[in-house]
Amino acid sequence: MPRYSAFAIARDAFRQHSGWTQAWKSPEPRSHYDVVIVGAGGHGLATAYYLGHRFGIRNVAVIEKGWLGGGNTGRNTTIIRSNYLQDPSAAIYEKSRALYETLSQQLNYNVMFSPRGVMMLAQTEHEKRGYLRTERANALQGVETRFIPPAEVKKLCPIIRLDGPRYPVLGALWQPRGGTARHDAVAWGYARACSDMGMHIIEQCAVTGVESTDGAVSAVNTTKGRITCGKLGIVVAGHSGALADMAGFRLPVESVALQALVSEPVKPCMDVVVMANTVHGYMSQSDKGEMVIGGGADGFNNYTQRGSWHHIEETVRALIETFPMISRLKMLRQWGGIVDMTGDRSPIISKTPLGNCFINCGWGTGGFKAIPGSGWAMAELIAKGEPGPLAAEFSMTRFREGRFIDESVAAGVAH
């Protein structure tokens, strides 16, 4: 695989850019792999990458029913942060954020990580007290955050309105090292690196069944034939319930639609990410100039990748109150992704009742930021058969044991 560099671009300019090769290969599946990962989104590809990179396991296939990165990896609002209240969450999200910092160099692929800073607005006294508590928790966890007063919010984000009629801005939890990255590039970069290690990435290949022998997984049936495997990793987000059903167990997960939308591109006006959790909306500006907007999730089980219309109205209404200057912006596109919500709004990285079958799901509304850390922890779980320190707390048995990692209380909403 030729390395990408400024020199490579200059060299290829002299041959009309005819020398570029496909970034990852599209092979036909073999009949056996040591590890099969279901789901070629960010989390699945990162899992495969760290299996090869950290543990030398390279006889790996990543199979995907659609196209690579076409699920939630390509449907999120690209926010990266790690200002969580609970220790296990802060540990894995901070690991992930730290991995993002050097990911472009590591993968030799520009994921356009932009540590522009993320602020979460405090718009009620209750929310302010909550963030002051999170600030102190983050200090103990080694996550750099700071509660900033309204004047500093205005300085960092001049287009914001501090004295809205319903919810004035009382301050914000500011994480200067948070930011955004190019979502597709994260999937493409991992895919290229996996392919470079000799792994197979098989798109347009749906899993139709899971076979087991003596209580352990032995093969998966797919639309491209039967594939035997030593170990199986299920990393399919919103469709985890369907895969778990094939593998013969149930999950504490419900799937709902979460929406996002983008405006027409405008000149640079906002160089931070702002999340307003009380009014349920968040916004940042993409490198193309579009305002990227996310909001609330549906309350009912839903696989439509569309979402309910009234959520858009609520989100846009809230954001216009916070950013009056966007009131006449036209919206270009709206879409939905199917997010897998657990009871405590924290993910599952776990062994399953089926031997040699592992699952990584339940990232809910906040999976993109976790891609590198999630892959790092999941790869360790698959390679060793036992979770490492990052994954241990996220076992699916925590629900039986009453060991919740309750981010639904800590974060309240979309994250």
Residues that bind other proteins (CB under 8 A): 239, 241-242, 245, 250-255, 299-304, 308-310, 343, 399-400
Q: In the complex, what is the shortest distance from the CB of residue 240 to other proteins, in angstroms, rounded to a whole number? A: 8
Q: Cα–Cα distance between 98 and 178 in angstroms, integer?
A: 10
**In 3-state terms, what secondary structure has residue 16?**
coil
Q: In the complex, what is the shortest distance from the CB of residue 345 to other proteins, in angstroms, rounded to a whole number? A: 13
Q: In the complex, what is the shortest distance from the CB of residue 254 to other proteins, in angstroms, rounded to a whole number? A: 5
278/308 with CB nearer other proteins: 308
The tokens for 262 are: 């983008």
- Would strands 357-361 and 225-234 be described as parallel, antiparallel, or unpaired? parallel
Q: In the complex, what is the shortest distance from the CB of residue 385 to other proteins, in angstroms, rounded to a whole number? A: 23
94/340 with CB nearer other proteins: 340
349-375 burial: b if 16+ Cβ within 10 Å, else e: bbbbebbbbbbbbbbbbbbbbbbbbbb
167/404 with CB nearer other proteins: 404
Task: Name all contacts of 326-329 with Cβ < 8 Å and 24+ positions apart.
Answer: 326/159, 326/263, 326/283, 326/291, 329/263, 329/264, 329/266, 329/291
* Spatial contact of 360 and 346, defined as CB atoms under 8 Å apart: no
Handedness of CA 107, 112, 117, 120 (dihedral sign): negative
**Phi and psi at residue 379, to the nearest 5°:** -60, -40
20/249 with CB nearer other proteins: 249
Q: Between the CA of residue 334 and those of 86, 307, 414, what are the distances in Å?
A: 32, 10, 17
Q: In the complex, what is the shortest distance from the CB of residue 304 to other proteins, in angstroms, rounded to a whole number? A: 6
79/396 with CB nearer other proteins: 396
Q: Between the CA of residue 105 and those of 5, 206, 255, what are the distances in Å?
A: 11, 33, 35
Q: Cα–Cα distance between 169 and 152 in angstroms, integer?
A: 11
239/369 with CB nearer other proteins: 239
Q: In the complex, what is the shortest distance from the CB of residue 163 to other proteins, in angstroms, rounded to a whole number? A: 29
Q: In the complex, what is the shortest distance from the CB of residue 394 to other proteins, in angstroms, rounded to a whole number? A: 14
138/346 with CB nearer other proteins: 346
Q: In the complex, what is the shortest distance from the CB of residue 374 to other proteins, in angstroms, rounded to a whole number? A: 21
150/248 with CB nearer other proteins: 248
